[in-house]
Structure 1
């Protein structure tokens, strides 16, 4: 007989087992990703009686109480939990709490983890025996998900080998402005002055890159005194404002500096930038760039525009060229 039963079939089994003198233990939860805390908890729960029943929140129930969850669908969660030796039966409940299910099944014992006080455990007013078992600190589905995400992010922070190889050859970096060096917000006052917010770390990345011998140009379709001032502070002289013909400027730069394709990198965020992105030897886009752009570039940064995306690519280029340690040593000896 399958361990996974609907409440009606389970009720019949419980009534039969009770007549045989069996003590029925009930617990509930999402059991999204089974971990050692669950195993220890369920082993202890089984000791409280003869038959252990697990009531699983359905996907709808989980979604209401834990946004962005479950990770695993209810049928898979049920199959995994039912495969455990200490578990006798598994069923589902669709509400936020199993109160109605407990009232219907009438188990002898209710067990929950130690993060629940006995008086707060759902069904404590129905069942006489209610226990709160020890909670295992630092062992939870959320902790596991965070561990996976952090590990994955660390791995992703190392660019693929082909990006490193391309970055070694670079001599010129061309950047869009709005949506790359800034978040893309346009702030205008009543006198039509335009304000921009630049990231300090992006700026310092460009300074280091320029000192390392990589030339930099910015191309934007808008006019801004703030941009002119910021680029002057950073020592960048190749500033092209008020142009939507970015390919024309791109070609002029290639001709002036006698650049090969593999010596040019470009970064943009919107489809207007595709003309230069598709012709650069190495193309970048911020994490929050337009989806059409992200499909066509070589590398998408982990950081968003105006929040470290440009610094990220500066660091990649410096490390690829073997110049990162030089700057670390230089600043360490200030």
Structure 2
């Protein structure tokens, strides 16, 4: 018999257990990477009744509250939990919290980990018996992920927890052009026309930021009709060309939009950009930026300039702010 049930199937079971005088214990969580803290906690929870029910956040639910997670999909997380002898049933919920599920199932006992005060536990106003059990200090899924990243630094595809935290606060992105939005090549014809090659993925990243209410500004020392045209296509109006005093323009933007340092992300590639990068909450450089720049920024992208570096940063910001799934859903359902 499968331990993994829908809420409707589980409700029938619970009603039957109540008639038999069996106490049902309910707990919930992501249980992304199962660890010793989870095991000890669930064992103690089972002691509070006859039947232990574990409700796990669906993948959709996890993404709303923990950007870039889950590591393991919901079906695998459920299977691992159901293999534990002290876990009787596993179910799912899509919402941010299991409040409606608790209200529907009406368990006898509600349990959460020790980092929750009893009055703050979701469902405490519904269930009569509520417990907050102690966690194992220093053991968590986040700690395990950080430990892995620390030991295997060559695997850099995942931004660090610090970068994610900074990206979550970003409200405005400021970009250089040559060596950031382009590879840095300058093509001139005999009539002094300047040509630039832009990356379509970078462009779409900026469009998604714009749609999400995140401001974008361009500050460049050169003048280019090609740039003006491209920014118009992308709906970006804060375009400052021929700006030799980049810091002055930066300060005007900060004042205009009433921005705090931590709300600004900036990407540059050469030492002329240092004055702006040093004043941004999240400073970024493309993989092929000048070495002096890469020394001082918070993040160096895996992609090179004009080849997806800007898109990489856009994706990090959108995921950190919990906005990524909105676009996945939008484009999936076109």
- Distance of 2:243 and 2:201 partners within structure 1: 27
- The reply on whether 1:161 has 2:165 as its aligned counterpart is no
- Distance of 2:227 and 2:209 partners within structure 1: 19
1:157 Cα offset (Å)? 1.1
Which residue in 2 is equivalent to 1:202?
202
- The reply on whether 1:285 has 2:282 as its aligned counterpart is no
- Distance of 2:330 and 2:287 partners within structure 1: 31
1:205 Cα offset (Å)? 0.3
1:152 Cα offset (Å)? 6.6
Runs of 4+ in 1 over 6 A off after TM superposition: none
1:91-147: CA deviation from partner (whole Å, max 9, x where unpaired)? xxxxxxxxxxxxxxxxxxxxxxxxxxxxxxxxxxxxxxxxxxxxxxxxxxxxxxxxx
1:244 Cα offset (Å)? 1.5
Which residue in 1 is equivalent to 2:181?
181
1:294 Cα offset (Å)? 0.2
TM-score by length of 1: 0.54
- Distance of 1:193 and 1:216 partners within structure 2: 26
- The reply on whether 1:305 has 2:305 as its aligned counterpart is yes
Which residue in 2 is equivalent to 1:237?
237
> Secondary structure of 1:218's match?
strand
Structure 1 residues not aligned, in runs of 5+: 1-150
- Distance of 1:281 and 1:245 partners within structure 2: 20
Which residue in 2 is equivalent to 1:264?
264
Greater gyration radius: 1
Structure 2 residues not aligned, in runs of 5+: 1-151
Which residue in 1 is equivalent to 2:37?
none
Which residue in 2 is equivalent to 1:321?
321
- The reply on whether 1:212 has 2:204 as its aligned counterpart is no
> Secondary structure of 1:216's match?
strand
For 1:90-101, what aligned pairs fall within 5 Å after superposition? none
TM-score by length of 2: 0.54
Which residue in 1 is equivalent to 2:89?
none
For 1:28-177, what aligned pairs fall within 5 Å after superposition? 155-177=155-177
- Distance of 1:170 and 1:316 partners within structure 2: 11
> How many correspondences in the alignment?
183
- The reply on whether 1:330 has 2:314 as its aligned counterpart is no
- Distance of 1:282 and 1:248 partners within structure 2: 19
- Distance of 2:158 and 2:211 partners within structure 1: 23
> Secondary structure of 1:307's match?
coil
1:296 Cα offset (Å)? 0.5
- Distance of 2:244 and 2:202 partners within structure 1: 24
- Distance of 1:152 and 1:329 partners within structure 2: 32
1:140-193: CA deviation from partner (whole Å, max 9, x where unpaired)? xxxxxxxxxxx976x311101011001111110000000000000000000000
Over aligned residues, Cα RMSD in angstroms? 1.0
